[in-house]
A and B are shown apart, each in its own frame.
Chain A
Amino acid sequence: MNEPELKQTILKMLKKVAPDSNPETLQPDDNIRQVLEMDSFDALQFIVALDEHLGIEIPEEDYGKIDTLNKLIAYLKQNMQKG
């Protein structure tokens, strides 16, 4: 999966978790949860969706490393290479 495809997959999952939000307007360095007004329940649903779709289990201590689109894409790419 290349970077644009990965980004599209992430946006689709965000839309599913927070259907009333507009993930497509997210800027690369926006804080995802703040901009999309996601609470801790939405955030956990998103982490579960990432695990189900991409097979990447993100530990709780890494939540701080994936708070923007840029950081999340970099994190996922790195872990997909490892896998």
Chain B
Amino acid sequence: MIEFTMPSLGADMEAGTLCDWLVKPGDKVKRGDIIAQVDTQKGLIDIEVFDEGIVDQLLIKEDEKVPVGTVMALIRPLGEKAVPTIEKPAAVYPVAEHIRASPLAKRIAAEKNIDLSAITGTGEGGAITKEDVERAAGLKLSAAAEKREQPADSIRMAVAAAMSKSNREIPHYYLETKVDMRHLIDWLASENKKRTVKNRLLPAAVLLKAVAKALAIVPELNAYWENGLQLKNEINIGFVVSLHKGGVMIPAILDVAHKSIDEIMALLSDIIPRARNLKLRSSELSASTITVTSLGEGSVETVFGIIYPPQVAILGFGSITEQPWAENGMLDVRPVMHITLSADHRATDGQTGSRFLNELKQQLLKPEEL
């Protein structure tokens, strides 16, 4: 039997509340299917399953908050026979004999975990009716909703927790370089001239592709630090999306190395609005192997990021600005971008970081080859 557990959607997540099961026992599921929705500090997240089989048992009830790693459901691999199971009795409040309530009211109270002794019945002779129980259940739900934090506040707290952990535990080192972006800007403009409005590219798509290519050459930065350095095969870039109401979401653009710039652009167009609406899938929140933050035009020139653990590096792209540029003994004005690398000194040294930044620079100087 395969155990389906509450996933960790980042270093800052300790628990999640199951909102909805989207499957029932007996349903067939395959890798990538969304089977539940879980409320986290980062919003309501669609949780995917990573195995194929038949849903055998759902062990967690809706509205239940459980720690990361808790078994939520059992999935029977295809071909394996079903084993009859004894259902775990639901925790119910003991019903005192003297409480007068209709059988239906008792059943609903048991299902919803409502204490009948706390309800005043409005039925005949003071008996508790179905309506009384439902009213009490509604009060319980609204009290829970009142307690729930606003999404913007909870995202702030999630960012705060992850960044504090990073700052406490990771010895960062910082490197910076500058790139002449004239050729890349001209190339992008000529590419976009050939395209319809809908298919135009943004610089971010080109930057992500260049990062993936440089990581393929210097893979030490595409890694986790978990009991030592663990290199990752797939390059999944967490792209920082700032939310208009404050805070950030960092969805992963998966397997960037094997995607074209157009495919990366299409993924960004899909994922950015979903990130802003807090509608991401579990794999998009947990799969990043490195993070990229791009401040975009009109912003400051340099950003030094804080690593998102257990990753070992974060890249910062500043705004492109016109600057004096010396080359071959001549002074000119060029569109220049500052690129910074914040890296984990437990995992790599400045020499590796420097090699990576130089490789990235070379990639950006030849965008037509990306």
Contacts and interface: CB of A to CB of B under 8 A. Distances in A.
Given A48-B198, A60-B189, A40 B244 contact: no
Interface string B181-210: 000000001001100111010111000000
A24 interface: no
A61 B193 CA distance: 9
B197 A37 contact: no
B192 A40 contact: no
A33 to B, nearest CB: 8
A21 B244 contact: yes
Interface string A49-83: 00100000111110000000000000000000000
A18 interface: yes
Nearest to B265: A44
Contacts of B57: none
B202 A59 contact: no
Given A44-B202, A45-B273, 5 more contacts: A39-B242, A39-B296, A41-B269, A48-B198, A59-B193
Interface in B77-110: none
Contacts of B329: none
B332 interface: no
Contact of B202 (A19, A37, A40): A40
Given A60-B189, A60-B192, A40 B198 contact: no
A51 B197 contact: yes
B314 interface: no
A54 B299 CA distance: 31
Interface string B274-302: 00000000000000000000001110000
B244 A44 contact: no
13 contacts: A18-B244, A19-B244, A20-B245, A37-B244, A39-B242, A39-B296, A40-B202, A41-B202, A41-B268, A41-B272, A51-B196, A51-B197, A59-B193
Contacts, number: 39
Contacts of B245: 20
- Interface size on B, as a range, is 20 to 34
Nearest to B268: A41
A34 interface: yes
A11 B268 CA distance: 24
Contact of B197 (A20, A41, A48): A48
A13 interface: no
A17 B133 CA distance: 44
A21 B198 CA distance: 23
B335 to A, nearest CB: 15
Contacts of A47: 197, 200
Interface in A8-39: 18-21, 33-34, 37, 39
Q: Which of B189, B197, B204, B244 has the most CB of A within 10 A?
A: B197
Nearest to B199: A48
B197 A57 contact: yes
Interface string B226-246: 000000000000000010110
B298 A34 contact: yes
Nearest to A41: B272
B197 A58 contact: yes
A60 B268 contact: no
Contact of A51 (B193, B198, B272): B198
A40 B204 contact: yes
A51 B197 CA distance: 7
B139 to A, nearest CB: 32
A71 B142 CA distance: 49
A40 B197 contact: no
A48 B200 CA distance: 9
A48 B198 CA distance: 6
Contacts of A44: 200, 202
Contact of A40 (B189, B203, B242): B203
A33 B296 CA distance: 12
Report which residue of B198, B244, B245, B268 has the largest number of chain A beta carbons within 10 angstroms of its beta carbon.
B244
Nearest to A58: B197
B262 to A, nearest CB: 14
